[in-house]
Amino acid sequence: MSNRAFCERVQPIEGAMDLLIAAGFSQQKVTNADGVEEDFLVFNKENVPSVESLTVSLEFGIGDVFGLVVPELPSVHTSTL
């Protein structure tokens, strides 16, 4: 996690790591191209039981982490009258 953009723009945000972990990422040591072991965030779909659970986690995570109100999307109901 030595990527400059990540260190400057993502890591300083309170709760950003929690949100990424809730979204299915895990912190792992990986050997880079230079043979040096570094920490990386790696996405693993097994960390997310379903798309629906990921959507719910992100909706609640964004609101909780950033103090935002996540708008509810309008539903379209059709009538067969």
The verdict on residue 26 lying in a domain is yes
Report the C-alpha gap between 75 and 12 in whole angstroms: 36
Please, what is the Cα angle at 28 between 25 and 31, to 5 degrees?
Answer: 130
Range of the domain at 56: 4-66
The verdict on residue 72 lying in a domain is no
How far from each other are the two terminal CA atoms of the chain, in whole angstroms?
57
Looking at residue 49, what is its pLDDT? 74
Domains in the chain: how many in total?
A: 1
Answer whether residue 65 shows pLDDT above 70. no
Q: Taking the complete model, does pTM exceed 0.75, yes or no? A: no
Looking at residue 28, what is its pLDDT? 92
The verdict on residue 18 lying in a domain is yes
Looking at residue 71, what is its pLDDT? 55
Looking at residue 13, what is its pLDDT? 86
